[in-house]
Amino acid sequence: MNYSGMATAFLAVAPNAKAQVVYVDLDPDIVLSDAGYNVDFDADGQVDLTIQHSSFIIGSYASTTDSQLVRVSVPPGNAVLGSIYPSLLASGDSIAPGNPNFQIDGLATVVRAMNANNFSWFGETGFLGCRFMGGDGLDHYGWVQLNVTSLASAIVMAYGYEATAGQGVAAGASGSVGVADQGALAPWGVVSNPVHERAVIQLPIATDERMALSLLGPTGKVLFTEVLHGQDMYELPMANYAPGDYFLLVEQGKRRGIRKVVKE
């Protein structure tokens, strides 16, 4: 069983004007017990990393042992920081290109709690360091906050990534400049991304409730806003904007959602 959670997403602008951190706070936290959670850092529809908790009993007729596993699975081309097992990172630790400790093998055990074999993650809350291929086809760097203080479950708390391709990020990096997604919006997104002359946007299912659509620049500045009513499709002119990464914000009542759009 795999979960997806209600999330609060923030676009955070770092002191370096070229750095933009997208931070997702899972609310409530995702508690995994014999279940998995798929992380899609940049909301491009591709699973970038899966965290899986499983439990089983091993032994013979004479004795049995409960075993708990927490594993990280990455698709081809993606990786997690570690040596034999994923590294337990502290807040602020660097996740950046050039680090030789990115692992690309399919399944990496975070915790194997059987007898005394508990690995460094057992009983800890920390960060996974990740490298993944973004929707733009380039490498990006991100983190996942993970709590494994209980044998019975693993808790995925938050994740974030640097929106600028090829640029590192600090574990736990977030910020207060940005937008929030308080859930409950119907599925929506850009029909074809990257875009050129215009962005065709599939909006949430039309209701009588008005919604505001905004285009944000790389620094979070609002470039365009329009209030829509009863529409499920919208074409946003993009010809006058320079190539680069932008963000679409939809607000409907107290519900908000953000998507990245790439202008070529």
CATH of 189-263, one of 3.40.50.300, 2.60.40.3080, 3.40.50.2020, 1.20.1050.10: 2.60.40.3080
- The predicted pLDDT at position 182 comes to 40
Query: Is the pLDDT score of 263 beyond 50?
Result: yes
- The predicted pLDDT at position 67 comes to 65
- The predicted pLDDT at position 108 comes to 61
Query: Is the pLDDT score of 49 beyond 70?
Result: yes
More confident of the two residues 136 and 255: 136
Q: How far apart are CA 154 and CA 146, in angstroms?
A: 7
- The predicted pLDDT at position 13 comes to 45
More confident of the two residues 56 and 89: 89
Q: Once rounded to an integer, what is the mean pLDDT over residues 168-193?
A: 66
- The predicted pLDDT at position 33 comes to 87
Q: Are strands 36-39 and 2-3 parallel, antiparallel or unpaired?
A: parallel
Domain boundaries, the chain: 2-170, 189-263
- The predicted pLDDT at position 231 comes to 80
Q: Once rounded to an integer, what is the mean pLDDT over residues 216-245?
A: 83
**Per-residue model confidence as pLDDT tens digits over 149-161:** 777 788 999 888 8
**Confidence (pTM):** 0.63
- The predicted pLDDT at position 206 comes to 56
- The predicted pLDDT at position 16 comes to 43
**Per-residue model confidence as pLDDT tens digits over 110-145:** 655 444 344 678 788 999 999 999 877 889 999 999
Per-residue pLDDT band at 222 (split at 50, 70, 90): confident
Of 7-16, 83-92, 186-195, minimum mean pLDDT range: 7-16
- The predicted pLDDT at position 60 comes to 52
**Per-residue model confidence as pLDDT tens digits over 60-114:** 555 444 567 788 888 888 999 987 778 889 999 999 999 988 877 555 666 554 4
